[in-house]
């Protein structure tokens, strides 16, 4: 049967609707929950807008001031302090590097202790998992704030903050990699009479090491970004200068520092991505943790 | 006879080249190892990582942590607990505010990312200029930490949650935008070709050919972003941009020791709870394999 536009009468449509109701959109019973969810989110949004006083007038005034600030940022200049800034930037990268390396080492035993297929008892696993949750659940900057009080101002507090926060993160990523390994090589190595240590070395490590290294590099990239703000609470690096220049409204210098951070982060990302591609033999961004 | 000699030669040649390869590989490993060791030493020197200072600092860290822990006696357990969490009503209000800041910032950031991500995807970009501009905007927005945006916005919009919301929104727009654009680049192009053949314009193509393919991914990325933003919202208070961070900063700088541990417990609990809920929804949306 060939349908012509003239066949599309109201009665034909209602007949088709009777025959196959599913072709005409979901029934009310299915659509209602979606509407309720949408309405709920809408109300929540309105509540937020009122609670946080996000009035158009306030936004308008704020954006006007912001454009003024951005205008004052150019041309970016260092005002003779370029070397100081460069050294602080280097310190930031050094903090990220050192913190990542130490965290990468500390996370290895913790990662194994959190893995379901490595530790038989659930109590041990529970304790280690929850402690890695706490290390990871508290933000790096909060750790930095605490360590500044404990060991004093300076990069050491920042490095310790990076170590604690990333040992937690890496332990979780490691344990996931360990839980996803293939049992067959392990059984093969064991069948040949290998000791537990040899089983680790030849059955487990070759499978997890590339993934672990790739995760570490990814965390290093992320740390070069997050280490730039540790200085805001006095934990070393470029953040101290940046926060100070913004607070004293020296916008040209703040812009210079921002551009320097951008350039450094691009450079690190580029190097790290090439290394990652070599290690894993292709592009692989670790799963969102 | 000649064949055997040739075979021996081949074996010898193979062994020689294998030895050469092995030596080269060992040199490479040694070279990279040396480079790594130098980088480590330079980092330790520039980062003022002094083992002596660290060892001296360790007992002080222990002391500090011990001071933040309250004295809980068995005889008056509930009373001690109530004293420890004396500020609970106010803290819960602040936590709720923190979550709302994260919510509205995620919403704004997602809208921004959604509006720009199709320009930043190689397979759908309208022109070189818009592709280049959106890519750079995403990169800058995600590289500059939200706390730096917050510092600048506090100056422009005044102290309060609004500055924090906008700071987190901009930063998460950059992060989500990159992920969105990558998801769009990985779509099946056949529906796009089909819709173009019917004469649909760019917006219609995106609405009916691209969006249905990427919407589950977008939703799950946004949920993940929300988890991150809850963490960010808890620290932007350090620079006066709202949320529970302000309270925490005050507790640390005025040495209200027991408040510090109580607030950390509340923050960790909230973060873990939200992560768990979001993970459930995410797995339902796109299945477990999407997040190995």
DSSP letters for A260-287:
HHHHHHHHHHHHHHHHHHHHHTS--PPP
Per-residue pLDDT at B65: 82
ipTM above 0.85, yes or no: no
pLDDT in tens, B51-95: 888 888 788 888 888 888 877 777 777 888 887 888 888 889 999
- DSSP states along B253-290: HTT-HHHHHHHHHHHHHHHHHHHHHHHHHHHHHH-GGG
Residue B46 sits at the chain A interface (C-beta within 8 Å): yes
For residue B267, the chain A residue with the least C-alpha distance is A138
**Contact yes or no for B117/B180 (Cβ under 8 A):** yes
Per-residue pLDDT at A182: 83
Per-residue pLDDT at A163: 93
Could you give the angle at the alpha carbon of B243 between the alpha carbons of B241 and B244, nearest 5°?
Answer: 125
**Contact yes or no for A140/A161 (Cβ under 8 A):** yes
Interface with A, mutate which of B145, B150, B180 (most A CBs under 10 A): B145
Maximum alpha-carbon separation in chain A: 85
b or e along A231-251 (b: 16 or more beta carbons within 10 Å of the residue's beta carbon)?
A: bbbbbbbbbbbbbebbeeebb
- Contact between chains at A225 and B101 (C-beta distance less than 8 A): no
Contact list in B for residue A287 (CB cut-off 8 A) is 291-292
What are the structure tokens assigned to A210, written together? Answer: 């590339």
pLDDT in tens, B268-291: 888 888 888 888 887 777 654 444
Parse chain A into domains and list their residue ranges: 28-69, 82-280
Residue B260 sits at the chain A interface (C-beta within 8 Å): yes
Contact list in A for residue B104 (CB cut-off 8 A) is 45, 48-49, 52, 54
Contact list in A for residue B46 (CB cut-off 8 A) is 87, 90-91, 94
Q: Is pLDDT of B105 > 50? A: yes
Q: Which of residues 125-164 of B touch A (CB under 8 A)?
A: 139-140, 143-145, 147-148, 151-153, 155-158, 160-162
Could you give the angle at the alpha carbon of A51 between the alpha carbons of A49 and A57, nearest 5°?
Answer: 55
Q: Which of B292, B136, B142 is nearest to B228 (CA)?
A: B142
Going through A96-224 in order, the beta strands assigned E by DSSP cover: none
Distance from CA of A237 to the nearest CA of B (A): 8
Using a 10 angstrom Cβ sphere, with 0-12 exposed, 13-18 middle and 19 or more buried, the burial of residue A88 is buried
Fold of B87-291: MetI-like fold (1.10.3720)
Place of tokens 């909230």: B270
CA-derived radius of gyration, chain B = 28
Per-residue pLDDT at B6: 61
Could you give the angle at the alpha carbon of A101 between the alpha carbons of A95 and A104, nearest 5°?
Answer: 130
Distance from CA of B10 to the nearest CA of A (A): 31
pLDDT in tens, A215-259: 898 888 888 888 999 988 888 888 898 888 888 888 888 899 999
Rounded Cα–Cα distance for residues A167 and A155 (Å): 18
| Average of per-residue pLDDT across B129-154 | 90
Rounded Cα–Cα distance for residues A54 and B100 (Å): 13
- Please indicate whether residue A11 or residue A281 has the higher confidence score (pLDDT): A11
Parse chain B into domains and list their residue ranges: 1-41, 87-291
Query: Which 8-state DSSP code applies to residue B207?
Result: I
Residue B183 sits at the chain A interface (C-beta within 8 Å): no
- Contact between chains at A69 and B155 (C-beta distance less than 8 A): yes
Q: Please name the member of B61, B249, B291 whose beta carbon is closest to the beta carbon of A150.
A: B61
Interface with A, mutate which of B136, B143, B226, B229 (most A CBs under 10 A): B143
- Contact between chains at A137 and B272 (C-beta distance less than 8 A): yes
- Contact between chains at B64 and A232 (C-beta distance less than 8 A): no
Going through chain B in order, the beta strands assigned E by DSSP cover: none
Bond preceding residue A75 cis, omega within 30 of 0? yes
Q: Which of B286, B282, B160 is nearest to B227 (CA)?
A: B282
Q: Is pLDDT of A281 > 70? A: no
Q: Which of B127, B31, B147, B81 is nearest to A230 (CA)?
A: B147
Contact list in A for residue B61 (CB cut-off 8 A) is 147, 150-151, 160
pLDDT in tens, B207-246: 888 888 888 888 888 888 998 899 889 888 888 888 888 8
Whole-number Cα distances in Å, A221 to B107, B163, B184, B236: 26, 27, 24, 22
Distance from CA of A277 to the nearest CA of B (A): 16
Contact list in B for residue A44 (CB cut-off 8 A) is 100, 103
| Average of per-residue pLDDT across B14-32 | 90
Distance from CA of A284 to the nearest CA of B (A): 12
Mean pLDDT of chain A: 84
Distance from CA of B7 to the nearest CA of A (A): 33
Maximum alpha-carbon separation in chain B: 98
Architecture of domain A82-280: Orthogonal Bundle (1.10)
The length of chain A, given as a count of residues: 289
Place of tokens 């941009």: B241
Mean pLDDT of chain B: 86
Could you give the angle at the alpha carbon of A101 between the alpha carbons of A97 and A105, nearest 5°?
Answer: 170
């Amino acid at each position: 049967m060939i349908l012509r536009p003239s066949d599309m009468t109201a009665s034909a449509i209602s007949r088709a609707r009777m025959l196959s109701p599913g072709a005409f959109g979901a029934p009310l019973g299915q659509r209602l929950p979606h509407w309720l969810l949408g309405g709920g989110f809408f109300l929540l949004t309105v509540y937020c807008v009122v609670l946080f006083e996000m009035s158009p007038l306030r936004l308008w005034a704020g954006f006007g001031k912001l454009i003024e600030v951005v205008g004052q940022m150019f041309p970016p200049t260092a005002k003779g302090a370029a070397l100081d800034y460069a050294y602080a930037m280097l310190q930031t990268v050094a903090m990220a590097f050192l913190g990542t390396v130490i965290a990468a080492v500390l996370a290895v035993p913790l990662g194994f202790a959190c893995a379901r297929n490595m530790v038989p008892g659930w109590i041990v696993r529970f304790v280690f998992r929850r402690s890695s949750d706490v290390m990871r659940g508290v933000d790096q900057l909060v750790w930095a704030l605490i360590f500044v009080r404990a060991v004093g101002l300076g990069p050491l507090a920042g490095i310790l903050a990076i170590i604690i926060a990333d040992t937690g993160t890496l332990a979780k990523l490691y344990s996931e990699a360990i839980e996803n390994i293939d049992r067959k090589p392990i059984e093969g190595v064991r069948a040949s009479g290998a000791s537990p240590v040899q089983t680790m070395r030849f059955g487990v490590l070759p499978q997890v090491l590339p993934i672990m290294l790739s995760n570490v590099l990814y965390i290093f990239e992320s740390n070069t970004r997050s280490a730039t703000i540790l200085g805001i609470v006095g934990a070393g690096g470029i953040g101290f200068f940046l926060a100070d220049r913004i607070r004293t409204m020296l916008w040209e210098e703040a812009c210079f520092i921002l551009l320097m951070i951008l350039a450094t982060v691009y450079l690190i990302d580029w190097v790290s991505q090439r290394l990652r591609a070599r290690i894993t033999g292709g592009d692989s961004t670790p799963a969102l943790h | 006879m000649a064949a055997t000699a040739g075979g021996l030669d081949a074996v010898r040649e193979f062994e020689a080249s294998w030895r050469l390869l092995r030596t080269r590989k060992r040199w490479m490993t040694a070279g990279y190892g040396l480079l790594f060791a130098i980088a480590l030493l330079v980092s330790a020197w520039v980062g003022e990582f002094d083992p002596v200072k660290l060892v001296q600092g360790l007992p002080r860290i222990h002391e500090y942590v011990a001071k933040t822990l309250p004295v809980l006696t068995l005889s008056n357990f509930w009373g001690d607990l109530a004293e420890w969490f004396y500020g609970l009503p106010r803290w819960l209000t602040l936590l709720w505010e923190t979550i709302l800041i994260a919510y509205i910032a995620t919403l704004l950031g997602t809208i921004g990312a959604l509006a720009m991500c199709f320009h930043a995807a190689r397979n759908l970009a309208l022109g070189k200029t818009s592709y280049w501009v959106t890519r750079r905007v995403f990169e800058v927005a995600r590289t500059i930490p939200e706390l730096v945006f917050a510092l600048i916005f506090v100056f422009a919009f005044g102290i309060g949650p609004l500055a924090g919301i906008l700071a987190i929104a901009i930063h998460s727009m950059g992060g989500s935008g990159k992920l969105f654009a990558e998801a769009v680049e990985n779509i099946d192009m056949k529906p796009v070709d089909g819709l173009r053949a019917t004469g649909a314009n760019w917006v219609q193509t995106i609405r009916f050919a691209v969006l249905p393919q990427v919407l589950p991914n977008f939703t799950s990325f946004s949920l993940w972003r929300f988890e991150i933003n809850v963490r960010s919202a808890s620290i932007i208070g350090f620079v006066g941009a709202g949320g529970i961070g302000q309270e925490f900063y005050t507790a640390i700088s005025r040495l209200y020791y027991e408040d510090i541990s109580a607030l950390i417990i509340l923050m960790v609990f909230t973060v873990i709870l939200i992560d768990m809920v979001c993970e459930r929804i995410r797995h339902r949306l796109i299945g477990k394999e999407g997040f190995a």
